[in-house]
Amino acid sequence: METQDTGKLAFFPVSFFSMIMGLAGYTLVWMEAESLLMYPFNPTEVFAALTIGLFLLLLAVYAMKTYRFPARVLAELNHPVMMSFFPTLTISLILIGTFLTTWLPGVALVVWALGAAGQLVLTLLILTRWIHQEHFEIHHINPAWFIPIVGNILVPLAGVQHAPLEVSWFFFSIGILFWLVLLTIIMNRIIFHQPLEQNLLPTLFILIAPPAAGFIAYLNIAGEIDGFARVLYYTALFLTLLLLTQTHRFVRLPFGLSWWAYSFPLAAMTVATLLMHEETGVALFLYLGYGLHAIVTFVIAVLLVRTFSAARVGKICVPPPQPVT
C-alpha cells in the first residue's frame, strides 16, 4: 500500500538495525566481564533490556514502513550499499538469542532459530543478487558487504547450545569462506581504485568483525584455542591496531548512522580478547581487554548521544545517497 511520501517514515533506513548489533555486542562484552569478575558492578541486564526494547521499536517502525512504502523497501534491497544492511535484522535476532540463553533459554532458542533461518535466506538472496547482477562495479563494493557474511559466523555463538554441532560448522564454514573471498576483493578495491566515499569510511571497522567474531565462534565449536584460533585472533588484533592508529581520520567525519559500524567490531574484539585471557591465563590479554572495554564504552556512549541528537533534528531519515556510477 504505497502512499505519498510526506514524512520521515518512507526514508527510515534498514541500517538502523546496526545500532542493535552494537548494543547487543556491548551486552555480550558485559556478560564476559561479569564472568571474569572484572568490576564490582554489572549492568548486563540493563543493556540487554535496552537492546531488546530498541529492537522491538525499530522492528515495529520498519514493519510500518514495509506496509506503507513497499517500493522504498525494494529500493533499499536493490541499492548496492543498503542491501547489505538487511542482515543486520537477522544478526540482531542471533545476538539477542545468544545473550537471552542465560536467562530465558526457551525464548532464546526461538529468537536464535528465527535469526539463523533468516540469515540463511538473506545470505542466499544477496549472494544470488551478487552473482546475477547487471549494474555493480568495483567501486560499489565496500566493507559493509561483509555484513551478510558476518551473520553466518555469529550463528555458532549460541548454536552449540541450541542445535546439533554440524549446524554451527555449516554456518561457520560459509562465513569463513566468503570472508576470505570478499576480503580479497575489498582490499583490491581500496588499494587500486578510487577511495571510499566519506560516509562509508566508518565501515572500514567492519574488517575487524569477521576474524574477531570468527575466533569467538570457533572457540565455541572447537572448545579450545589452537593454531587456527590464534590466526583469527591475531588477524583481528592487527586490524584493530591498524584502524585505531587512524582515529584522527575518523573523528573528522560528519555523523551518520554509518558510525555504528565502529561499535560491533570493537565489541567483538573486546569479547575475543577477554576470552583469550580466560583460556590462556595471560595477564596481558586482561589489560588489553580493560583498554578495549573502555574504548567501546566511550564509543557506544558517543553513538547513543549523537544518534538521538541527529534524530531529534531530523538528520537521520533522509534519502540514501545514490551510488557512484
Structural domains of the chain, with CATH = 9-312 (1.50.10.150)
| Section 239-268 average pLDDT | 93
The three-point CA angle 11-16-17 to 5° equals: 135
Checking if the pLDDT of 238 tops 90, the result is: yes
pLDDT bin (cut points 50, 70, 90) of residue 320 is: low
User: Tell me: the pLDDT tens digits for 104-154?
Assistant: 999 999 999 999 999 999 999 999 988 887 777 888 888 999 999 889 999
Q: Residue 133 is placed in which grid cell? A: 547482477
CB count in 10 Å sphere of residue 235: 18
User: Tell me: the pLDDT tens digits for 46-92?
Assistant: 999 999 999 999 999 999 999 999 999 999 998 888 999 999 999 99
- Greater confidence, 117 or 324? 117
Find out whether 36 and 279 touch, Cβ atoms under 8 Å: no
CA nearest neighbour of 77 among 23, 139, 136, 14: 14
| Section 196-208 average pLDDT | 91
| Section 94-112 average pLDDT | 97
User: Rounded to 5, what percent of the chain is helix, strand, coil?
Assistant: 80, 0, 20
Q: What is the dihedral of CA 193, 197, 198, 200, to 10 degrees?
A: -100
- Would you call 278 helix, strand, or coil by DSSP? helix
* pTM as predicted: 0.94
Find out whether 69 and 2 touch, Cβ atoms under 8 Å: yes
CA nearest neighbour of 143 among 116, 104, 182, 176: 182
DSSP assignment of 192-232 equals HSPPPPGGGGGGGGGGGHHHHHHHHHHHHHHSS--HHHHHH
